[in-house]
Structure 1
Amino acid sequence: MDWALAAAGFGVGCVVGLTGMGGGALMTPILVLFFGVPPLAAVSSDLVASAVMKPVGSAVHIRRGRVDWRLVRWLCLGSVPAAFGGVIVAKALGNSAGVQEVVQIALGVALFLAVIGLLLRAVMRLREQAAEAKGLARKASDDVVPRVKVRPVPTLVLGALGGLVVGMTSVGSGSLIIVALLALYPMLRPNDLVGTDLVQAVPLVAAAALGHILFGDFQFNVTTALLVGSIPGVFLGAQISSRAPGALIRRALSIVLLASGMKLLGASNTFVLVGLFAAIVLASVGWMALRRFYGLTAIPRRTPTPSASPLPGVPATEQPQPASAGVRNG
């Protein structure tokens, strides 16, 4: 048992439990960059571990009725055979150093796409926040948005492309497909979008994992260490998710994925540092401009703590004051 690897799995599991994302996109580059696992073996072992963890989040959305099963069916018709086929293609190419390099480059590109997906999801949440601030958002009980009209062929193609990427890199079962779903179905309710994406990822990851067990470079000891750490990590992250600064964690996740993608593509340490600094500055300026565009303050303001309800039968001058009031009054 590699306890350092289990600790890494625990950390990634916590991130997945807190944010619902980042499993394959974070664990695979960690295996390659920090533990020296060959890229194909890292993809295989991570996919098998993800196949065990994915159904947990899906069950929650199924119970809440936040899954569009029509979209799930069409996505799976394309993604399941494509994911399995992606493993066979990788196996047919061989296990030489050249193939490992191709897999590593594909993984780096997939990480960049995952960062774009995270940014687009953040923009989607910002639009919802702006709508709520303007009083335009409706309560779930009053939601009368009609069901989206399914587009079978584009959805099937999306599933096939996403399955191929997942089968070869283990990245994209959530972060990439959800962005494409948003582009295909802009009227799909956010909760249904997330629930549908999580559920379709279960058979997709399972098919890719089975393919890697049969034809890939699956390493049982690596997967066991990942599961030993990641399962309690996911549980712990889910327990504290309501109190954790999720937005801050998502930003940190984007930075980690960006740095990992550059390293996998062969960038030097100096280039990675300069690139991260430029990305952080540009993203911060752009985000503040986007908030102003949607009618929000450039920097989020903390919501003031509501004052306590007045005590019945007690005069206003004798009502208890907030602790901060005494500080203001000197």
Structure 2
Amino acid sequence: MSWQLVLAGLLVGFVIGLTGMGGGALMTPILVLFFGVNALVAVSSDLVASLVVKPVGAAVHRHRGTVHWRLVRLLCLGSVPGAFGSVVALRLLADPAAVARITQIGLGVVLLCAVVAAVARDVLDRRGRPATDTVTPKPVPTVLIGLVGGTAVGLTSAGSGTLVIVCLLLCYPALAPRTLVGTDLAQAIPLVGAAAVAHLIFGDVQFALTGQLLVGALPGVAAGALVSARAVGAVLKPVLALVLTFSAVKLLGAPTPAAFLASGGAVLISLVAETSRRAGTLSRG
């Protein structure tokens, strides 16, 4: 048992419970950059851990009635085959060394997209729109959102808690934030399950690693959910922008000074976006 891995799981779990951000965007780069875990093993093991953690949040939203089940079904039509198929296609078409490299580069790209998506979400949230828990589904765009999100999660374990939510927000601007999160969490269970099964088939998962992450992540998620407050989440946003941008740039092979420079820019943009969102909220109130 490595207390460092348990602590990493605890911290990431706490952030997931506090902000709703997907664990793949945080845990996978931590495993690769700080623990030296092979990118493919990190993605696979994190997916299996997420498969245990995701239902906890989804169960809460189901109990509260903040899951749009028709959207969940449409998203799964794209996300499940996207997640499973992307893993199988990559493993069949490339040798193990190339797969690990492609996975690492893909993770870096998805993390950068996650930072952009988080800023876009703040910008979109300041629009004066009526919030509703029911919308009329748009089948084709929703299935495509699921396909893109599923492919990203299958290859990198990241993207569900950021990319899918922002795409849903663009497609359904009137959908209430609580229902956006609940719907995403519900569809993420079969999505992550499909990706995890594909990685299990090829023997990529290290269960010892997954188990140590879960020892910390499960109580971390519960603690984060209990402490959850908008003010605390707002404070964490610039920190997450810094961590995700630094991790992304390093995964893409850039030198450390460039990673710090890019991270500083991301923090500044995040602060401006959060300030703008708060100003918009106050003006509507």
TM-score, normalising length: structure 1: 0.79
Corresponding residue for residue 5 of structure 2: 5
- 1:256 paired to 2:246: no
> Partner amino acid for 1:169?
T
Structure 2: unaligned runs, 5 residues or longer: none
1:54–1:146: structure 2 CA closer, same or farther, 3 Å change rule? closer
Compute the displacement of 1:214 (Å): 1.4
**Whole-angstrom distance in 1 between the partners of 2:200 and 2:256:** 35
Question: Could you give the per-residue CA deviations for residues 212-231 of structure 1, whole angstroms, max 9, x where no partner exists?
Answer: 11125111111111111111
Which of 252, 267, 270 pairs up with 1:265? 252
Hey, which of these two has a bigger chunk of helix by percent?
Answer: 2
Compute the displacement of 1:96 (Å): 3.0
Aligned pairs, how many? 283
1:236–1:194: structure 2 CA closer, same or farther, 3 Å change rule? same
| Pairwise CA RMSD | 2.3
> Partner amino acid for 1:157?
L
> Partner amino acid for 2:252?
L
> Partner amino acid for 2:85?
G
Q: What secondary structure does 1:21 align onto?
A: coil
**Whole-angstrom distance in 1 between the partners of 2:228 and 2:269:** 28
Larger Rg: 1
- 1:30 paired to 2:17: no
Q: Following superposition of structure 1 onto structure 2, how do residues 24-63 of structure 1 map, counting pairs within 5 Å?
A: 24-63=24-63
- 1:204 paired to 2:167: no
Q: Is the 8 A contact 1:79 1:160 kept in 2?
A: yes
Which of 258, 261, 280 pairs up with 1:274? 261
Q: What secondary structure does 1:14 align onto?
A: helix
Corresponding residue for residue 122 of structure 1: 122
Compute the displacement of 1:66 (Å): 1.0
- Percentage of pairs with the same residue: 54
1:226–1:95: structure 2 CA closer, same or farther, 3 Å change rule? farther
**Whole-angstrom distance in 1 between the partners of 2:274 and 2:221:** 29
Structure 1: unaligned runs, 5 residues or longer: 132-136, 298-330
Corresponding residue for residue 98 of structure 1: 98
> Partner amino acid for 1:279?
A
1:158–1:243: structure 2 CA closer, same or farther, 3 Å change rule? closer
**Whole-angstrom distance in 2 between the partners of 1:61 and 1:201:** 13
Q: Following superposition of structure 1 onto structure 2, how do residues 305-316 of structure 1 map, counting pairs within 5 Å?
A: none
Give the stretch that moved more between structures: 6-15 or 274-283.
274-283
- 1:156 paired to 2:143: yes
